[in-house]
């Protein structure tokens, strides 16, 4: 099972490295899962917070993928207008994948590739309105949303949580628990400054809102 | 304020990218914080789960750091015997930093650099025994531990949590809440397979153990 993780200039680091870690550990604990970083070329590229990464595959070299994960970040604003990237996503999803995922504003790339039409989907809290304004997506404020083969998540931590949920979905809770324990993913659910400081926090984080 | 994030072959991806994201956002919301990736050279290197990253500074080029973060991963087993890396850590901490941090098995690098002598510290749950056997560290099972200028954390998610706690420590809860909200870090505290499946989970995660 091949998972492709898409990267582009100004991609948000933790949007893709969170799921990357979970999928990587899934591969290490005895499954056939292999995770690959895919970019337009295999030249180094600079992420949103300055980290430089090197894709393993270019769009041309990339093998057929079973799962494609599309992260978000400032770079998505340019990439929705990059025909090479949109064509790559469309082609992989139409021809090969059983599941396509987005984290954060990666949802806008899925939308541009025609993959969110009439579907339930979500994105980073600060972009919910913008996604709603596209008019043809049913935007929901959940941590992550599954609509058939399309999984979309809210910002940063929601992407990592969605990756674990996908492992659970495919391989069951015993495997998901092994991955969670092996990487030691037991995050603290603390609100710095108290819940009142998180005026813009999404509804899934503050259910009493 | 310069934060250096150390990387080396087979470093654990999420150990350093979690804090990287938090520190990067801290820099973006109006502070003077700048975060830099530092390696023995500026050649691309392969992390534990296969991600290739490119350090911005080599040990030789690296400017004086205010904070140094040392992640963990399988690579630490080799790096404790790498005199160039140990000397770099020692030098930065003795000459420059106000705080040195480790995530996961990065604690073993701090130990080899003589920075944990008699201090309270922690590491990944599967390495607590090994850290205890070194004999001169007071090992505790907490999410993260502060002992003077030395901050150590448990595995993966604990490093990200420690980074937010450090932002709170330096800039206060209003800034920490802004960072948390901006990146959308509201992770789910779910135990896949139920708490009973997490037999080896550390005590901070399962306080009833």
- The pLDDT tens digits of the residues spanning A42-63 come to 999 999 999 999 999 999 999 9
Kindly determine whether residue A193 and residue B183, on different chains, have CB atoms separated by under 8 Å.
Answer: no
CA dist list (Å): B175 to A197, B22, B120, B153: 10, 11, 27, 21
> What pLDDT sits at residue B209?
59
Kindly determine whether residue A156 and residue B184, on different chains, have CB atoms separated by under 8 Å.
Answer: yes
* Distance, CA of B169 to CA of B162 (rounded, Å): 10
Strand order in the sheet with A45-46: A45-46, A52-54, B52-54, B45-46
Contact A167, B197 (CB under 8 A): no
Q: Is A207 part of a structural domain of the chain?
A: no
* Distance, CA of B158 to CA of B165 (rounded, Å): 10
DSSP state of A77: H
Q: Is B205 part of a structural domain of the chain?
A: no
Kindly determine whether residue B187 and residue A189, on different chains, have CB atoms separated by under 8 Å.
Answer: yes
* Distance, CA of B105 to CA of B110 (rounded, Å): 9
DSSP state of A36: E
Maximum Cα–Cα distance across chain B: 49
> What pLDDT sits at residue B189?
85
DSSP state of B137: S
Contact A110, A150 (CB under 8 A): yes
Please name the member of B35, B164, B194 whose beta carbon is closest to the beta carbon of A192. Answer: B164
DSSP state of B27: H
The overall average pLDDT reported for chain A is: 96
Average pLDDT over residues A77-103: 98
For residue A133, what are the contacts with CB-CB under 8 A and spacing of at least 6?
none
For residue A115, what are the contacts with CB-CB under 8 A and spacing of at least 6?
A89, A90, A93, A100, A150
Kindly determine whether residue A21 and residue B125, on different chains, have CB atoms separated by under 8 Å.
Answer: no
Using alpha carbons, select from A4, A86, A14 the residue that is nearest to residue B16.
A14
Kindly determine whether residue B52 and residue A35, on different chains, have CB atoms separated by under 8 Å.
Answer: no
Burial of residue B30 (CB within 10 Å: 0-12, 13-18, 19+) is exposed
> What pLDDT sits at residue B52?
98
Please give the residue of chain B at the shortest CA–CA distance from A200. Answer: B181
> What pLDDT sits at residue B31?
82
DSSP state of B185: -
Query: B37 CA to chain A: closest CA distance, Å?
Result: 7
Low-confidence stretches of chain B (pLDDT < 70) are 208-209
Q: Is B209 part of a structural domain of the chain?
A: no
Q: Is B77 part of a structural domain of the chain?
A: yes
Strand order in the sheet with B34-39: B57-58, B34-39, B2-6, B67-70, B99-103, B150-153, B144-147
Number of domains, chain A: 1
* Distance, CA of A199 to CA of B169 (rounded, Å): 22
- Here the CATH number for the domain that contains residue A121 is 3.40.50.880
Kindly determine whether residue A205 and residue B183, on different chains, have CB atoms separated by under 8 Å.
Answer: no
> What pLDDT sits at residue B6?
98
Measured between beta carbons, which residues in chain A are less than 8 angstroms from residue B155? Answer: 183-185
Question: Which of B10, B19, B46, B51 to mutate: most A Cβ within 10 Å?
Answer: B51
Strand order in the sheet with A34-39: A57-58, A34-39, A2-6, A67-70, A99-103, A150-153, A144-147
Measured between beta carbons, which residues in chain A are less than 8 angstroms from residue B36? Answer: 50
Q: Is B104 part of a structural domain of the chain?
A: yes
* Distance, CA of A27 to CA of A35 (rounded, Å): 8
The residue from A47, A62, A99, A104 that is catalytic is: A104
> What pLDDT sits at residue A208?
67
* Distance, CA of A138 to CA of B88 (rounded, Å): 53
Q: Is A150 part of a structural domain of the chain?
A: yes
Kindly determine whether residue A37 and residue B52, on different chains, have CB atoms separated by under 8 Å.
Answer: yes
Please name the member of A51, A124, A183 whose beta carbon is closest to the beta carbon of B37. Answer: A51
For residue B22, what are the contacts with CB-CB under 8 A and spacing of at least 6?
B160, B163, B164, B167, B179, B183, B185
Measured between beta carbons, which residues in chain B are less than 8 angstroms from residue A174? Answer: 193, 197
Question: Which residues does residue A151 pair with via DSSP β-bridges, in sequence order?
Answer: A101, A146
Using alpha carbons, select from B9, B92, B87 the residue that is nearest to residue B43.
B9
Please name the member of B37, B155, B184 whose beta carbon is closest to the beta carbon of A157. Answer: B184
Kindly determine whether residue A44 and residue B44, on different chains, have CB atoms separated by under 8 Å.
Answer: yes
pTM of the model: 0.97
Contact B108, B89 (CB under 8 A): no
Report residue B141: phi and psi, to 5°.
-100, 75
Domain of B36 in residue numbering reads as 2-197
Measured between beta carbons, which residues in chain B are less than 8 angstroms from residue A45? Answer: none
Q: Which helix (H) or strand (E) holds B180?
A: helix B173-183
Size of interface A-B (CB pairs under 8 A): 192
> What pLDDT sits at residue B207?
72
Other CB atoms within a 10 A radius of the CB of residue B120 amount to 16
Q: Is B206 part of a structural domain of the chain?
A: no
Question: Which residues does residue A121 pair with via DSSP β-bridges, in sequence order?
Answer: A139
- The pLDDT tens digits for A153-189 are 999 999 999 999 999 999 999 999 999 999 999 999 8
- The pLDDT tens digits for B26-61 are 999 988 999 999 999 999 999 999 999 999 999 999
* Distance, CA of A183 to CA of B125 (rounded, Å): 10
Q: Is B202 part of a structural domain of the chain?
A: no
> What pLDDT sits at residue A153?
98
Q: Answer yes or no: B104 catalytic.
A: yes
Local confidence band at A206 (pLDDT 50, 70, 90 cut-offs) = confident
Please give the residue of chain A at the shortest CA–CA distance from B54. Answer: A52
> What pLDDT sits at residue A207?
72
């Amino acid at each position: 099972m091949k998972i492709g993780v898409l990267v582009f200039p100004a991609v948000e680091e933790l949007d893709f490295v969170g799921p990357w870690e979970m999928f990587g550990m899934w591969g290490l604990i005895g499954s056939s899962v292999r995770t690959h970083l895919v970019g337009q070329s295999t030249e180094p590229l600079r992420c949103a917070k300055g980290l430089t990464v090197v894709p393993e595959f270019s769009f041309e070299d990339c093998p057929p993928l079973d799962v494609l994960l599309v992260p978000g970040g400032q770079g998505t604003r340019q990439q929705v207008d990059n025909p090479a990237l949109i064509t790559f996503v469309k082609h992989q999803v139409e021809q090969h994948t059983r599941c396509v995922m987005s984290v954060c504003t990666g949802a806008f790339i899925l939308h541009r590739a025609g993959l969110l039409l009439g579907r339930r989907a979500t994105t980073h809290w600060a972009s919910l309105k913008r996604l709603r304004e596209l008019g043809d997506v049913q935007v929901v404020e959940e941590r992550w949303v599954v609509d058939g083969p399309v999984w979309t998540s809210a910002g940063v931590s929601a992407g990592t949580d969605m990756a674990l949920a996908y492992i659970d979905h495919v391989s069951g809770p015993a495997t998901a628990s092994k991955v969670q324990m092996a990487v030691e993913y037991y995050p603290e659910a603390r609100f710095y400054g108290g819940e009142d400081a998180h005026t813009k926090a999404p509804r899934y984080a503050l259910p009493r809102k």
